[in-house]
Amino acid sequence: MISFELGVEDLADTHFALSPLEETVLSLRVLREPGLYALHLPWRRSALARLDARDTRLLTSLVGSKLALPDFLTPRPTTFAPTFEEQLSLVRRTPPKVIRRDVPAALVAEPVPDNAAAARFRDTACDVLRRYWELTIEPIWPQMQLVLEADMTYRARQLAVGGARLLFADMHPNLRWHDGVLSIDQMIGRHHVAVSGRGLLLMPSVFAHKPTPPVHPEEPPRLTYPCRGVATLWHPAPAPDATALVSLLGAPRAALLGLLDEPLPTVELARRLKVTPSAVSQHLRVLYTTGLLTRARDGRHVLYRRSDLGDQLAVPPAPPRTEL
């Protein structure tokens, strides 16, 4: 078990960030152990089709025998949403002594024998990760980012409404918050970290199957956790409906009306349709002002849903029965 002891100042400095590099590295577990990640099998098939056998072997070799990953491959983000290249440049500057510490700690391989071997390991890992990012993650990163940001909005509201207890309550069964200590079960590490004014960085992840703190206790306190909404990420966008409704409203507005049988915010609609939130907002305004949608505010979000009139248009009435 790994635990973080958080004081009042640490809770005040609990914040969120995105990490395209960490998402890339965590996705390597899906390549190595597909049975743990059934939701990601469509993505895995597509990724393997783009990779050659040599790169696949190199990539999966970075994952430890217990699915741990060397800490140096996932540096702490220095801004809210750094680019992949910004983070990779930090990895390329990792001192060899840190690599020699992290590789055996993650049970990836035997201890790296010297600094020259550590530098070669680091540079090879960076080169193959860049190719992997460009082929398999970068094309879908905009959709992933919308899912991650939606989760952060939800978590921020949980924190505002119920404090730390509610914030951590439904993140994952392995997490437990009690008396100012956040405990993470089923870890290969066994240590207690006094956060001591450094704050806790929280990072939602599409590819994490359980909470993931740094393996080494000297790393700055952070927690990567499975985000909400992953189940729909690989679903294709709704196909245009070639019906009279499309002719009346246009394909984008007809697709929006079809989705809004439940309350949804703009960011979630944009993710599902794979368009920008601003484009969705324009169509939502038209549908709302014509009486086809209702809306209500939920915290910082405005939720839209079909009105009764919208239901009548989107759901055609049952055909009349024909007496035989």
| pLDDT tens-digit map of 203-216 | 999 999 999 998 88
pLDDT tens string 76-122: 999 999 999 999 999 999 999 999 999 888 877 677 789 999 999 99
Residues 75 and 17 in one domain: yes
Q: What is the mean pLDDT of the chain?
A: 89
Same domain, 155 and 284: no
pLDDT tens-digit readout, 143-177: 999 999 999 999 999 988 998 899 999 999 999 99
Measured distance CA(141)–CA(39) in Å, rounded: 17
My answer on whether 96 and 218 are in the same domain is: yes
On whether residue 212 sits in a domain, the answer given is yes
Rounded distance, CA 71 to CA 221, Å? 12
The answer to whether residue 320 is domain-embedded is no
193, 7 Cβ separation under 8 angstroms: no
Beta strands in 83-221 (DSSP E): 175-178, 181-184, 191-194, 201-205
For residue 249, pLDDT beyond 90? no
Residues 171 and 283 in one domain: no
> What's the number of domains the chain is made of?
2
Q: pTM (2 decimals)?
A: 0.72
* Residue 219 and residue 255 share a domain: no
Asked if residue 294 and residue 217 are part of one domain, the reply reads: no
Domain boundary (230, 261, 276) is at: 230
Residue 42's domain comprises: 2-230
Query: Residue 114 falls within a domain, yes or no?
Result: yes
For 31-54, write each residue's pLDDT tens digit: 999 988 888 999 999 999 999 999
Does residue 211 share a domain with residue 264?
Answer: no
Does 98 reside within a domain? Answer: yes
pLDDT of residue 6: 93
